[in-house]
Amino acid sequence: MLNPLLVARCKQHRVVLAIAFLIIFPLLMPFKAIAVNILIYGLFALGFNMLFGTLGLLSFGHAALFGGGAYACGLVMLKLGLPWYVGILGSVLAGMLIAATIGAFAIRTRGIYFAMVTLALAQCLYFLADQATDLTGGENGLRGVDLKTIQLPGMTLNFVDPLTRYYVVAFFVAVALFVLSRILASPFGAVLEAVRENEARARACGYHVRMVRYLAFILSGGFCGLAGALQALHLSIVPLETLAISNSGLVVMMSLLGGMGTFFGPFVGAGIFLLLENLVSLWTVHWQIFVGAAFVACVLFFPRGIWGTILMGRGR
Amino acid sequence: MDGITPDLLALQLFTGLALGAIYVLLALGMSLLFGMLTVVNFAHGAFYMLGAYAGVLLLSIGVNFWFCLLLAPLLVGSLGLLCERFLIRHLYGRGIDYPLLLTFGLSYIMVEMVRILFGTQGLPFDTPDALQGASDIMIGYFPTYRLFVIGVAIVVVVALWLFLERTPYGLIIRAGARDPQIVRILGIDVARVWLVVFGIGTGLAALAGLLAAPLQGASPEMGSSILAEAFVVTVVGGMGSLVGAVVAGLLVGVVVAMTSLVAPEFAQVAIFALMAIVLLIRPQGFFGRAGLMS
């Protein structure tokens, strides 16, 4: 059992702790690229969890938001010739726009329908991207999203250097984390929780429940779009698979593994998932079988996820 | 658009019906599982794929195609029974998301197992000799095999309807769907009923996969793309409604076939556009009960 005083201290300084963790994290990882990946997928899972954990809406189409952001960033840089930060801004907007479009249909449905409709609409975007070869490169993906150096006033960052790249990505992830935690702590965040806990009462209190859900979906799209843009910059290519159904499933899996409904759970899930994937794929190409088995085991035995179970263990 | 004659349209309509027949079988299984067990089976595509590979396996050990039609769904259906008995059963009453997530994990395992056993490349699947060639259907020649697919679907739909509506077992299944508690009080083992329903649902998926195999070959990924399409069919038809599954399955098949005649590149997208329109006008689908999902 952990010392309650220590736990309270940790909670009090969790912003400092989170920043400290982000700074030393790459030094603990076997190589820097995986640390970057964990940050990106962690952010993606956080955006997803905002909908699932906070509102109880299970979306199976989040690849559309992530992939849409990635393509938006790439297209802004390649086709419009604008600098990378405009690309990132564009990806956040694109994520929100796609979420607004998908949400307009999906938010009318509930529960299981919601999962199926989001999946189907995301699949629709996948086929569109596959067909629009002139714009997206089709099956080959969008190539050449190169970012070599970042000009800041007074200095130039070398984005090719793994550690610098990590800290640039970490900066955006930290900003997103901060914004997300402020949203959840705001009155709007309280309304989100109210809607999840007791929809009828929230409605009776005068909240427009469907609009609240819709707004949350759009915000989630912004975070996922940002994650997509960071991945586009990290890989310097946007593969068509970023839009595929498997990517939507991946983020559900990470959130489930880490613990849905906890703030950092999805992040932990993304980290463990990617590390495991890395380890297992060292000795077999059939790593997906372990992923599937881990998933089944999680559903059966750890429905709260790893982080959720840890939090439970210390009496939350 | 010259070159599109009424005859060509009629033939394309039949192509759509053959495709629709596959969707109908898939969506029937899915609707059955949802209507009776409130399980959304994300592994349905994987069971579909297993059906095709069960066919490959059976054919390779010398079983003829007609027995395959019977054996492959039975084999895969038994696997479905095992999954229900040992995994999914524990999740009843724990919310609708958990069976969904579990079956999603299962589909990963099944797809990867097939990759290990049969290789990552797709396998060809020959049309059985008796069904090769084309038949004259008054308006022109139409591939015999596709006619056969439509025929099998009709037989299955009629058989399933008779089973559910005209037999004592069907009565129990329907009663269990409406009020499991009362059925249990009447002394019927509901768990066993659900087990059987799961077997039937997955068996239907396998049959669909087997029937589709000669049209497109067998590949480990064949299930994941059709899963989304099966979802569209169930959403359009109304979740849990068997009539809806049949009507929507045929409609989606025809829409795909017609779009591929005019604008092939939009055939896939047309399905989802259809779903969007239906959702806007009638969110519960053609035959879905309003308010069932909220």
pLDDT tens, position by position, B248-260: 999 999 999 999 8
Is residue A144 very low, low, confident or very high in pLDDT (cuts 50, 70, 90)?
confident
Q: For chain B, where are the E strands, in sequence order?
A: 134-136, 141-143
Q: Is B93 helix (H, G, I), strand (E, B) or coil?
A: coil
Contact criterion met (CB below 8 Å) for A122 and A140: no
Closest CA to B202 of B179, B188, B223: B223
Q: Could you say which of B224, B235, B280 has the minimum Cβ distance to residue A245? A: B224
Q: Tokens 């809607």, residue?
A: A195
Nearest to A245 among B228, B234, B283 (CB): B228
Q: Residue A131 pLDDT more than 70?
A: yes
Quote the tokens at residue A160.
């090719």
For residue B179, the SS3 value is coil
Q: What is the pLDDT of residue B289?
A: 67
Residue B61 CB burial class (10 angstroms; 0-12, 13-18, ≥19): exposed
d(CA A306, CA A270): 11
Other CB atoms closer than 10 Å to residue B113's CB: what's the count?
18
DSSP secondary structure string, B127-173? PPGGG-SEEE-SSSEEEHHHHHHHHHHHHHHHHHHHHHHHSHHHHHH
Q: What percent of chain B has pLDDT over 90?
A: 43
In the structure, what pLDDT confidence band is assigned to residue B196 with cuts at 50, 70 and 90? very high
How far A132 CA lies from chain B's nearest CA (Å)? 10
The amino acid sitting at B246 is V
CA distances from B171 to A268, B178, B188 (A): 48, 11, 12
pLDDT in tens, B55-80: 999 999 988 889 999 999 999 999 99
Per-residue pLDDT, B292: 42
- B137 and chain A: CB distance < 8 Å anywhere? no
Contact of B231 with chain A, judged by CB distance below 8 Å, is answered with: yes
Scan residues 70-89 of B and list those with Cβ closer than 8 Å to A. 87
Q: Which chain B residues touch A246 with a CB distance below 8 Å?
A: 224
Nearest 10 degrees: Cα torsion A139, A103, B282, B194: 80
CB-CB under 8 Å, A110 with B293:
yes
Q: Indicate the burial class of B264 (C-beta count within 10 angstroms; 0-12, 13-18, 19 or more).
A: exposed
Q: What is the rounded average pLDDT for all residues in chain A?
A: 85
Contacting B with CB below 8 Å, chain A residues are 58, 105, 108-113, 115-117, 119-121, 123-124, 127-128, 131, 245-246, 249, 252-253, 256, 286, 288-289, 291-296, 298-300, 303
What is each CA distance from A175 to A84, A157, A169, A181, in whole angstroms?
A: 17, 19, 10, 10
For range B201-220, the mean pLDDT: 94
Reduced to 3 states (helix: H, G, I; strand: E, B; else coil), residue A158 is strand
Provide the shortest C-alpha distance from residue B61 to chain A (in Å).
26
Whether residue B8 has pLDDT greater than 60: yes
pLDDT single digits (tens) A146-174:
877 777 777 777 787 888 888 889 999 99
User: Do you know the residue count of chain B?
Assistant: 294
Give pLDDT, residue A145. Answer: 80
Q: Note whether B256 contacts A: Cβ–Cβ < 8 A.
A: no
The mean pLDDT value of chain B amounts to 87
The most confident of the ranges A166-170, A272-276, B16-20 is B16-20
Task: Using the predicted structure, report yes or no on whether residue B234 has a pLDDT greater than 60.
Answer: yes
Span A59-75, average pLDDT: 93
For B235, which of A113, A127, A300 is closest by C-beta distance? A113
Q: Which is more confidently placed, B206 or A1?
A: B206
Among A276, A296, A304, the residue to mutate for chain B (most B Cβ within 10 A): A296
Per-residue pLDDT at B294: 35
- Pick the most confident of A93-102, A127-136, A285-294, B263-272: A93-102
B105–A296 C-beta distance less than 8 A: yes
Judge whether B227 is closer than 8 Å to chain A, CB to CB: yes
Residue A1 above 70 pLDDT? Answer: no
Contacts of B232 in chain A (CB under 8 A): 120
Mean pLDDT for the stretch of residues A121-146: 85
Residues 6+ apart with CB under 8 A from A107: A114, A210, A213, A214, A217
Q: Which of B232, B268, B283 has the CB atom closest to A108's CB atom?
A: B283
pLDDT-derived band at B110, boundaries 50, 70, 90:
very high
d(CA B145, CA B21): 12
- Can you give the pLDDT at residue B2? 56
ipTM: 0.80
pLDDT value for A314: 63
Structure tokens at A173: 């992830």
Dihedral class, residue A243 (left if φ above 0, else alpha if ψ from -120 to 50, else beta)? alpha
pLDDT confidence of residue A315: 52
Output the pLDDT for position A316.
45
Nearest to B232 among A109, A120, A294 (CB): A120
Q: Name the residue among B102, B106, B235 with its Cβ closest to that of A116.
A: B235
Give me the mean pLDDT over the B165-187 stretch: 87
Tell me which chain A residues have a C-beta less than 8 angstroms from the C-beta of B110: 292
